[in-house]
Amino acid sequence: MAWFTRSKQNIESRPAEAGTASRDMPDGVWAKCSECKELLYRKQIEENLYTCPHCNKHFRIGSREYFRILLDNGLEEEIASDLRPADPLGFVDSKPYPARVVEAERKTHLKEAIRVGLGCIDERRVAIGVMDFAYVGGSMGAVVGEKFARAIDRAIEERLPFIMVSSSGGARMQEAAISLMQLAKTSAKLAQFANERLPYISVLTDPTTGGVTASYAMLGDVNIAEPKALIAFAGPRVVEQTIRKKLPTGFQRSEFVQEHGFIDIISHRKELKATISNVLNHLR
């Protein structure tokens, strides 16, 4: 794609904004779909809600795009927007964890892998959370768990439904057991939410894996997925290496997961807002 990204005026890639799409979303005025290989005009992709008009591939997008797509007037109030990851373990791999956090913030203009807040869907006020895969692979650490919990608390306080859009590689390695504790924390908050008899809708996008799948992503009253999203605990390469067998075509994709009873609805992104609104009409 080298010739699609140039230094000349009006042809260069756009600067990063908070919650923008991850590397899966092509940059530049023109882009080639990685699935059907069709050459696409960038504006055409955006008008099609970041999906390919030829093969319906759903490009990975971030919180900024989902808030704009799903909410009537975008995110009206953000909750706990000032929270940032700490480094309680002093974790170092090829570089210190704080350095990775700084790099992630610089690249994405985000403070964490999740944003939560309040808005309206078809004039119905909701609490909503959206994960950003572009920030450290959408991994779940202590701040992700805390922001999720605060969104639940606000939803209970105002008697609102809660919508969660997940996109994650799983638990955050740099936070070790602290990250794994968020599986229990978020699941406990959802049990509290269920006791309040308020609706929780989980939206799974590509990819939703690891600890997020093992906790709040699969605990919705209704679980909705985008087409062909990877939904798994361990990814297909890990499974193949473990069982030493070739996996069937489409294994762990939305359609396969729905066929085996783990999700309820597959919705094209262009229909996602209407699908969520319709589900809420039945759950209230």
Phi, psi torsion values for 98, nearest 5 degrees:
-55, -35
Distance CA 104, CA 248 (A): 35
- Tell whether the model's pLDDT for residue 8 goes beyond 70: no
Mean pLDDT of 233-238: 88
pLDDT digit string (tens) for 47-96?
Answer: 999 999 999 999 999 999 999 999 999 999 999 999 999 999 999 999 99
Distance CA 197, CA 284 (A): 9
Q: Which residues of 207-241 are buried (b: 16+ CB within 10 A; e: fewer)?
A: bbbbbbbbbbbbbbbbbbbbbbbbbbeebeeeeee
- Provide the 10 A C-beta neighbour count for residue 250: 12
Class of CATH domain 63-283: alpha beta
Phi, psi torsion values for 122, nearest 5 degrees:
50, 50
Find, among 222, 223, 226, the residue nearest to 282 by Cα.
Answer: 222
Most confident of 9-13, 23-27, 230-234: 230-234
Band (284; pLDDT cuts 50, 70, 90):
confident
Token pair of 176, please? Answer: 């070790």
61, 52 Cβ separation under 8 angstroms: no
- Tell whether the model's pLDDT for residue 108 goes beyond 90: yes
Dmax of the chain from CA atoms? Answer: 57
Mean pLDDT of 120-132: 98
